[in-house]
Structure 1
Amino acid sequence: MSRGADLELVNVTKSYSGTIAVDAISLRIKAGTYCCLLGPSGCGKSSTLRMIAGHEDISGGDIVIGARAVNGEPPVKRGTAMMFQSYALFPHLSVRDNVAFSLKMRGVGKADRYAKADALLRLVAMDRYADRLPAQLSGGQQQRVALARSLITDPVILLLDEPLSALDPFLRIKMRAELKRFQRELGITFIHVTHGQEEAMALADLAVVMNNGRIEQAGSPQEIFDRPATEFVARFMGGHNVIDLAGKRVTVRADKVSFAPGGESAGAEHVRTGTVTAVEYQGYSVVVTLDAAGGELTAIVPERQFFARPVEPGAAAAIGWNAADIHELSPTA
């Protein structure tokens, strides 16, 4: 298996009939990185992935893989492979033949392509299903086959277009752990498009938040969650209160505020009182939303603390925070 390669996007732009889908973005992804592109529908993340793959022409800028610009090169010459959202397995071919298909198209002999396909099926724990048809597999099994098929050409960069979206929530969590393990074992670059914040936080070494065709922020998941650069990032990632405070726009994480029923002081340096509008039980914690002066505020309250003094919508309450937990947003947010 080939190792990863650096990827650099230099002022990459994509327009469709005059409409800008990706707006002069620049990004460097080091070899061996698990990178997640995330953002709402229409933000440009899938167009970016398709341009890296060579399935979409770029309208401007450069895509550099390793030491060379690959603008205009066909997908087969880029050293990339794409794993599609739908998996796109051939229904009439066995698992082994699905995995070996691209090598067959390149003229590789049957014995050699089957040997390589079987090795990859062992990697993804699907070797005992090699003679089955895709319809005889579960969704998670089909995903493993699609992954093995993507890897058979020894790509230096694997591109994944929302690969977990078709799975049920339980299997999605299991499979994202496996994707991370495969990436570490293979040592190649994974670039994974998702609209799921939790998925990106769990998987990424580098998370890239996109909005309206631009990169709002790129960094580690911890950096993006702890220190969102803009109001958009804070709201998209969730779990943040965006507050106007002394002429500044700031965020305070919902798990770092204090919550007090009855409109008490909440034991904090800054306090806002209001009316409870929603209570959501989430197992380990309870999310309480408050309509307060200046806008909506949210507190994530430990389960035991909440049920010691529970509240219902319509009750008075207070939310407070300390200066140490304030993060100031960019003035352009």
Structure 2
Amino acid sequence: MDVELAALTKRYGHTTAVDGIDLKIRSGSYCCLLGPSGCGKSTTLRMIAGHETVSSGDVVIGPKAVGDLPPAQRGTAMMFQSYALFPHLNCRDNVAFGLKMRGMAKAERHRRADAMLALVQMDRLAERLPAQLSGGQQQRVALARALVTGPKVLLLDEPLSALDPFLRVRMRTELKRIQTDLGITFVHVTHSQEEAMALSDLVVVMNGGRIEQAADPRTVFERPATAFVARFIGGHNVIALPDRRIAVRADRMLLGPEAGPEAVPAQVVAVEYQGSAVHVGLDAPGLDTDAATPLTAILSDHAFARRPLALGDTVRVGWQADEAHRLEA
């Protein structure tokens, strides 16, 4: 189902956590709410779920406004960061618990639970208790439990944050596979730019309770709307020119003779080898980067090997004119 937020606002006393946001999430899409801690993304998710009251505005799921409905009547399910599995129940009974509360017969709820465990590749461990599972396995059981009731919209609150980096990559692949197979709408809160880019059809970048930009991942990365988006997504240099502010991708920065006639001198202040690429930090007094972090150029490993740089070196830095993306004021 489509999810639409209309002037959605949440206030806590004199503090505004979510400030009149408007957003439409198409049915069957994977949407990531992305932003730093305290930007309002989790509060927005909880208002969609019905776990947080709405101060003003509305939440529309499918054809009807649901802002005043309890969670069970919204057609949504929520997967929490903590997983919150019942320690005394095995995987099958954890997944079937919501169906049991709805009065479903034991045989039928176990059949559905087993089918959902198979979907998340946990059917062979159906008899195990949560304490006998790894973190990734617990996450799969929590996902199956959220999906077994047949929600039209699944809400995920930083579901991968407790996993180690290797397992996080593996599980985000599984999340995307499951969402594609089921064809339902996923709304996923994360503070990881990489996670949002890998998973989503729609990235919603939030800051200070407002939406800075909502677009597909490629557009957000290639054409950030604001300086905040450019910095938060990463991979860009934000530069203030006399007549405008621009963002230039770090991997499109040019160093040395090919930097062009408009290039300015810079001193190398950092060199970080990252395997396939080398990140070169630069101090360029002739450029107003308007940020606490130094100007960065990302060079391929081969390009750096052909013309290596060391701390303290002076090099000219520039970019092609069509690589400069103008930012909103």
SS for the counterpart of 2:258 is: coil
Whole-Å separation in 1 of the counterparts to 2:140 and 2:102: 22
Does 178-187 or 307-316 show the bigger shift?
307-316
Distance of 1:51 and 1:269 partners within structure 2: 53
Q: Aligned equivalents of 1:76 and 1:173: distance in 2? A: 31
In the alignment, is the contact (CA less than 8 A) between 1:297 and 1:319 conserved in 2?
no
2:323 to 322, 325, 330: 325
- Of 81, 84, 87, 1:85 maps to 81
Shift of 1:269: 4.9
Q: Matched residues in 1 for 2:260 and 2:51: separation?
A: 54
Q: CA deviation at 1:314?
A: 1.6
Distance 1:183 1:270, change over 3 A: farther
Aligned counterpart for 2:236 among listed residues 234, 240, 243: 240
Give yes or no for the alignment of 1:200 onto 2:196. yes
Partner of 2:91: 95
Match of 1:250 among 230, 246, 249: 246
1:314 to 304, 312, 322: 312
Partner of 2:205: 209
Flag as ranges the 4+ runs of structure 1 deviating above 4 A. Answer: none
Task: Name the counterpart of 1:267.
Answer: 259
Amino acid at match of 2:305: F
CA distance in 2, matches of 1:185, 1:223: 25
Q: Which residue of 1 aligns with 2:56?
A: 60
Q: Deviations over 1:200-251 (max 9, x none)?
A: 0000100000000000000000001110110000000011011122411011
Q: CA RMSD in A?
A: 1.0
Deviates more, 1:274-283 or 1:307-316: 307-316
1:305 to 303, 306, 312: 303
**2:218 counterpart (214, 219, 222):** 222
Asked whether 1:33 is paired with 2:55, we answer no
TM-score when scaled to structure 2?
0.96
Say yes or no: does 1:169 pair with 2:165: yes
Gaps of 5+ in 1: none
Shift of 1:189: 0.2
- Tell me how many residue pairs correspond in the alignment: 323
One-letter identity of the residue aligned with 1:196: S
Q: Is the 8 A contact 1:270 1:322 kept in 2?
A: no
Unaligned residue ranges in structure 2 (runs of 5+): none
* In 1, Cα distance between equivalents of 2:95 and 2:8: 32
Which of residues 266, 275, 279 is equivalent to 2:271?
279
Q: Is the 8 A contact 1:240 1:252 kept in 2?
A: yes
